[in-house]
Homo-oligomer: A and B are copies of this chain.
Amino acid sequence: MAATPSKLVSLVEAAQAVASGASLTAGGFAHSHQPLAFTRELIRQGRSRLTLMSVAECWVAEFLAAAGMLEKVYFSNFMFEGYGRCQRFSKAVEAGAVAVEDHSHFGMVSRLMAAGLGLPFMPMKAMAGTDILAISGFEPPDRKARRMQSPFGHEVVTAVSPLRPDVAVIHAARADRLGNVQLFGTTSVIEEQARAAGTVIVTVEEIVDTDIIRRQPEMTLLPALMVDMVVHLPYGAHPTGVYGYYDHDSAHLADYYAASRTEPDTAVWLDRWAHGLPDHFDYLDALGMTRLLQLRVDPALGYLREASHG
């Protein structure tokens, strides 16, 4: 059939889709597949007053908070497993510089899902009876969730309202130029995030022919019709990992974690690893090939045999 145009764009161009004041949701879970090359580019370009709608993209939140670009966060949990609290993010909240709206994981996922399914609300059963619903962050409590009775009886559920981020940024394993996206391992909240968002940007380890996608259609997470832009960014999740490609870089994460204890050290770190490097390939060069290759997973196991526990 006839050729179809490509959605492949540069990182610079993709990042321009996130304006100051925009709302953003980002893929990933714990130390896995967070779109951090994209996050560093946003930091290089500079943004302000961003809103995050997040479940577990702790590193994205932390770096955006460290760079002073965050204003508001709808979220359920930011925690560096094996390290501790997200220090710059937590400090920003404690200083009143970032406003937060708390949820349970299921509450956040349900709000994104409501938007993705085109529904004005989603019924669910968690969060009831707690301060998550009783204490408002920046959202009026009756806009976030309402207790309601089932139309078919006396059962009470919590209805949560949809959250529609302007942009979803996802890092995945591979995509074709049309935007068919595959990811191995856990898919975290990517399905719900991509469907809820107005614009979907996907950064990937590899660009492959559509024929490669068609060989394993069961592995396709996002079909092309869900995706607006594709950016080729090998090691684009570093210092987090990508299942089947590379493990998270514990030493680099630990370095950041140490730096993030103070604002000046964080600034030095950001200067070195974001502002100081013109683009992602300079970043990879700065890390060095030895280090990047050492992170590559054992092909038999899918992970590095020697775990570093924080």
Residues of A within 8 A of B (CB): 118-125, 143, 146, 148, 150-153, 155, 157, 159, 161, 184-185, 218-219
How far apart sit A161 and B152, CA to CA, in the bound complex (Å)? 7
Given A119-B125, A121-B152, 19 more pairs with CB closer than 8 A: A119-B123, A119-B124, A119-B157, A120-B123, A120-B150, A120-B152, A120-B153, A120-B155, A121-B123, A121-B150, A121-B151, A143-B152, A146-B151, A146-B152, A151-B159, A152-B159, A184-B218, A185-B218, A218-B218
How far apart sit A150 and B284, CA to CA, in the bound complex (Å)? 49
| A148, closest chain B residue (CB) | B151
How far apart sit A215 and B184, CA to CA, in the bound complex (Å)? 12
| A187, closest chain B residue (CB) | B218
CB distance from A261 to the nearest CB of B (A): 38
| A182, closest chain B residue (CB) | B218
Is chain A's interface secondary structure helix, strand, loop, or mixed overall?
Answer: loop
8 A-B pairs closest in CB distance = A120-B150, A120-B155, A146-B151, A152-B161, A151-B159, A121-B150, A148-B151, A119-B123
| A120, closest chain B residue (CB) | B150
| A147, closest chain B residue (CB) | B151
| Chain B residues in 8 Å Cβ range of A123 | 119-123
How far apart sit A152 and B185, CA to CA, in the bound complex (Å)? 36
| A185, closest chain B residue (CB) | B218
| Chain B residues in 8 Å Cβ range of A120 | 123, 150, 152-153, 155, 157
A-B contact pairs, 6 of them (CB 8 A): A119-B125, A120-B152, A120-B155, A120-B157, A146-B152, A218-B219
| A123, closest chain B residue (CB) | B119
How far apart sit A148 and B125, CA to CA, in the bound complex (Å)? 19
How far apart sit A143 and B150, CA to CA, in the bound complex (Å)? 12
How far apart sit A148 and B159, CA to CA, in the bound complex (Å)? 13
CB distance from A111 to the nearest CB of B (A): 11
How far apart sit A219 and B159, CA to CA, in the bound complex (Å)? 32
How far apart sit A119 and B151, CA to CA, in the bound complex (Å)? 12
CB distance from A83 to the nearest CB of B (A): 27
Query: Which of A148, A150, A153 lies at the interface centre, i.e. has the most chain B CB atoms within 10 A of its CB?
Result: A150
| A221, closest chain B residue (CB) | B218
How far apart sit A185 and B125, CA to CA, in the bound complex (Å)? 33
Query: Which of A122, A124, A150, A151 lies at the interface centre, i.e. has the most chain B CB atoms within 10 A of its CB?
Result: A151
CB distance from A88 to the nearest CB of B (A): 34
CB distance from A133 to the nearest CB of B (A): 13
CB distance from A309 to the nearest CB of B (A): 22
How far apart sit A281 and B159, CA to CA, in the bound complex (Å)? 51
